[in-house]
Structure 1
Amino acid sequence: MVLCRSWRTRFILLLPLIFLIPLLFSVSELHQKPIQREQRTNLSKKSNHIILGPAAGQGFPNRLQCEGLKAMNRILLPSLQKNLDISERVSFVSMFTVYNSSRRLKMESVDNNMDGKVIIGNTSYTKPERSIAILNTFINFIQVSMPRSQVLLLTDPAANLTMNRKNTTLFPVSGDYTRGQLMLQRIRSYIAFLESRLQQKFEIQNFVNHYIFTDSDVAIVDDLGHLFENYPDFHLALTFRNNKDQPLNSGFIAVRGTLDGIRKSKIFLEEVLEIYSSKYIKASRMLGDQLALAWVVRSHISFTTELFQKPEAFSAEINGSSILFLPCAIFNWTPPEGAGQFHGMPLDVKVVHFKGSRKRLMLEAWNYYNKTGSTSDMLCLILRSGRAKYDF
């Protein structure tokens, strides 16, 4: 009887704890969740200055090895473009426009609680100035790696742009340059440009000018003249990556400058435009061009994922055109942003693509090159900084 009463007494005393313990855990979780949310927010915030991390790919074969910001194993080969026949040349074509309305800038100032400017090195940039700075840096890299090359900028005639740069020419193309139609307009502008080249038949027959269509946020870090020598049979070249849904990237398209190469490249892009407009128009602001490219390629060749898993060039026939597929790892390499698997930078990388918020890194890389004069050391800066999120 005494034991029973003692047990009841203890139970009564412990009863409040039974209800209190879950409450304590709940309070603890409430304190932890804001901390976790804050940590996630801090991780996702973009940095306004260069953040150096470890150089990915250390110890991997055929990858850039860095000691600090010093490249230990990249050897630059002599420029091959200097050895090209005088009757051949490689030109770069990029579409460019600026959105600089006072209303848009005012909205950005309110959203960011600042005046819309960022500082890189000793220079302060507004939003439109940043776009121009990226464009100038794009041209700078070409003039260092391929000084004989011309740059042709496809522009909106209404933009009233001026560009006073050596070997740089504006090529106005009428169209819809609004943000929602920009990627669609890019394909249209490429086709219009190729059509204009076909109209200059006599010039093409006597002088071969190969064309490389790229975004303006890329750095050409090695001579690409070898591309048309090493692969003499392709009409058009695309870059691919190991991505099931979006295996092709439209940021780099090479066109052989013969009449046959230009004509067949134009026909291929017209088919891409048709698929873009009919199947992927809802993605006209972004990704629609890449989805359309993948659809066209898959509809004409036996699509095997194995071909896109190995970073090795291969060719295929599409509607009578010879299409060369080049690995993004070399011809369209992008610094990974944030987390994810990453095995470093290939030693033979030719093109670095500063997509999205990496554009600050593009300007920082050019500033560092100006300071050191070393392309290899600059690549170490990109490699060690590429996983941070910057403010562009």
Structure 2
Amino acid sequence: MCWRWLLSCKILRKISLGMRFYGGWLLCLSLLLVIFHIFSVVEFHPNSVIEGGPNKRNKKSDHLLLGPAAGQGLPNRLQCQGSKALNKTHLLTSPSASNVGDRIVFVTMFTIYNTSLDSHADSKSSNLVTVGNVSYTKTERSMAILNVFINFIQVTMPRSSVIILTDPESDLLLQRNKVTLYPIQGEYSREKLMLQRIRSYITFLNTRLKELAQNPRHTSHYIFTDSDIAVVDDLEHIFQKFPKFHMALTFRNNKEQPLNSGFIAVRGTPKSILRAKIFLQEVLEVYTSKYMSASRMLGDQLALAWVIKSDPNFDLRRFSKARAFLAEIGGASVLFLPCATYNWTPPEGAGQFRGMPLDVKVVHFKGSRKRLMLESWNFFSSASDISDMLCLILMSGRTKYDF
């Protein structure tokens, strides 16, 4: 510090020789104090991090952070003022109309890895996450997400039921109306969970084929989904509006991963179930032969895309427009539904974002958006307005949350 002080004095002395007025000395003294302060800050705080820098910006939040609602002023997008919707997105099915039409069954795969929900290791305070007035262990919040998944279905599609494909060894305790546990033997390790999901879907469809052979009048349509989705509008119209498809997939304008496996619909006729089963068997074969390196994540979506792209008659340019269309793939009539409506995901982090379409039917809370899913249900429970709840999701969608 002494050499810096002397250097500053010499510099200021030379400057002062050229100054003719007394006021110049006051300026020199002020400059000296500023230089001394800068040197002292660098000396004693060399490793300081500016608040709001990259380290803080990348940290996940443990509560909802509301920002501006994207898509304001754009046509056919949800318009919000705070958490209040200025234009409504949905007119839910009236009670009189809810007693007609085909029965829809939602099918999801879910397992837990703890031997008990009261595991001591899982209940340490450092592992707890608080949402609203409730604190959850890792296992409890997984169960909470599953229950919210069921809650949304029972609100928007009260006639529907839910089947949960699960590991027979899983300590899964769930007693809900119109919810059935369906144990299927398999390999449920985290590394191969997506692989097991396709195998479980095939096993389930094969069982349904046998049941239909014995009782052909017992017909239901099936929608296979991830358990971290919220059904925010009735989906029965898919099977009524598009009467010729065997199975449906959701797509997006993404060159490498155009298809998302979190939503697959299958018409409940024997022919459709058989076609869907054969199609998924081909996906499974591609998965195990080409994408085992991605077995923990994305392997199923890569395999789906490979099967579709391998069809010589399929036009990949159709993925560039968010409009539903039909295509024949390997003997199956496949309905392609835009993710923007049937598998919409709140953006995570920064990036361009054009808001939420007014016709959104399914919201997918992937990755660290799970807190947002629980917070959304809590908000809906108090407000009872789906459009307002969607504004909350829209304003919170760019934040990385704590789980």
TM-score normalised per structure 1: 0.87
CA shift, 1:314, in A, is: 1.1
Residues 122 and 139 of structure 2 are in contact (CA less than 8 Å); yes or no, is this contact kept in structure 1?
no
Residue of structure 2 in register with 1:45 after alignment: 59
2:78 is the alignment partner of 1:67? no
Residues 208 and 258 of structure 1 are in contact (CA less than 8 Å); yes or no, is this contact kept in structure 2?
yes
Residue of structure 1 in register with 2:254 after alignment: 243
Go from structure 1 to structure 2 and tell me whether the alpha carbon gap of 1:350 and 1:275 turns closer, same or farther (over 3 Å shift). same
Residue of structure 2 in register with 1:337 after alignment: 348
Indicate which of 144, 151, 154 corresponds to 1:143.
Answer: 154
Residues 204 and 258 of structure 1 are in contact (CA less than 8 Å); yes or no, is this contact kept in structure 2?
no
Residues 81 and 223 of structure 1 are in contact (CA less than 8 Å); yes or no, is this contact kept in structure 2?
no
Provide the C-alpha distance between the structure 2 equivalents of 1:356 and 1:277, rounded to a whole number of angstroms: 24
For the residue of structure 1 that corresponds to 2:103, the secondary structure is strand
One-letter amino acid matched to 2:129: V
Provide the C-alpha distance between the structure 1 equivalents of 2:348 and 2:101, rounded to a whole number of angstroms: 41
CA shift, 1:307, in A, is: 1.1
Residues 78 and 357 of structure 2 are in contact (CA less than 8 Å); yes or no, is this contact kept in structure 1?
yes
Residue of structure 1 in register with 2:31 after alignment: none
How many residues are paired up? 364
Go from structure 1 to structure 2 and tell me whether the alpha carbon gap of 1:231 and 1:32 turns closer, same or farther (over 3 Å shift). farther
Provide the C-alpha distance between the structure 2 equivalents of 1:80 and 1:338, rounded to a whole number of angstroms: 38
Cα shift readout 1:206-237 (whole Å, capped 9, x = no counterpart):
13200000000000000000000001110010
Residues 301 and 318 of structure 1 are in contact (CA less than 8 Å); yes or no, is this contact kept in structure 2?
no
CA shift, 1:154, in A, is: 0.1
Cα shift readout 1:14-62 (whole Å, capped 9, x = no counterpart):
xxxxxxxxxx9xx98xx89964797112111110001000000000000
Residue of structure 1 in register with 2:382 after alignment: 371
For the residue of structure 1 that corresponds to 2:344, the secondary structure is coil
2:327 is the alignment partner of 1:316? yes
Which structure is larger by alpha-carbon Rg, 1 or 2? Answer: 2
Provide the C-alpha distance between the structure 2 equivalents of 1:167 and 1:332, rounded to a whole number of angstroms: 24
For the residue of structure 2 that corresponds to 1:223, the secondary structure is coil
Residues 100 and 127 of structure 1 are in contact (CA less than 8 Å); yes or no, is this contact kept in structure 2?
no
Residue of structure 1 in register with 2:114 after alignment: 100
Residue of structure 2 in register with 1:213 after alignment: 224
Go from structure 1 to structure 2 and tell me whether the alpha carbon gap of 1:122 and 1:160 turns closer, same or farther (over 3 Å shift). same
CA shift, 1:296, in A, is: 0.3
Point out where structure 2 has 5 or more consecutive residues left out of the alignment: 1-13, 15-37
Indicate which of 285, 296, 306 corresponds to 2:296.
Answer: 285
Residues 122 and 138 of structure 2 are in contact (CA less than 8 Å); yes or no, is this contact kept in structure 1?
no
CA shift, 1:306, in A, is: 2.4
Q: CA RMSD in A?
A: 2.6
Indicate which of 251, 269, 274 corresponds to 1:263.
Answer: 274
CA shift, 1:149, in A, is: 0.3
Indicate which of 86, 89, 92 corresponds to 2:103.
Answer: 89
One-letter amino acid matched to 1:201: L
Residue of structure 2 in register with 1:133 after alignment: 144
Provide the C-alpha distance between the structure 2 equivalents of 1:383 and 1:98, rounded to a whole number of angstroms: 30
CA shift, 1:271, in A, is: 0.2
Identical-residue share of aligned pairs (%) = 61
Point out where structure 1 has 5 or more consecutive residues left out of the alignment: 1-12, 14-23
TM-score normalised per structure 2: 0.85
2:263 is the alignment partner of 1:252? yes
Residue of structure 1 in register with 2:133 after alignment: 122
2:311 is the alignment partner of 1:297? no
Name the stretch that deviates more: 77-86 or 333-342. 77-86
CA shift, 1:308, in A, is: 1.0
Provide the C-alpha distance between the structure 2 equivalents of 1:375 and 1:349, rounded to a whole number of angstroms: 11
One-letter amino acid matched to 1:92: F
Provide the C-alpha distance between the structure 2 equivalents of 1:52 and 1:371, rounded to a whole number of angstroms: 18
Residue of structure 1 in register with 2:6 after alignment: none
Provide the C-alpha distance between the structure 1 equivalents of 2:180 and 2:255, rounded to a whole number of angstroms: 38
Provide the C-alpha distance between the structure 2 equivalents of 1:148 and 1:377, rounded to a whole number of angstroms: 24
One-letter amino acid matched to 2:70: A
Cα shift readout 1:324-366 (whole Å, capped 9, x = no counterpart):
1100000000000001110000001000000000000000000
One-letter amino acid matched to 1:219: A
Go from structure 1 to structure 2 and tell me whether the alpha carbon gap of 1:40 and 1:278 turns closer, same or farther (over 3 Å shift). same
Indicate which of 161, 175, 186 corresponds to 2:172.
Answer: 161
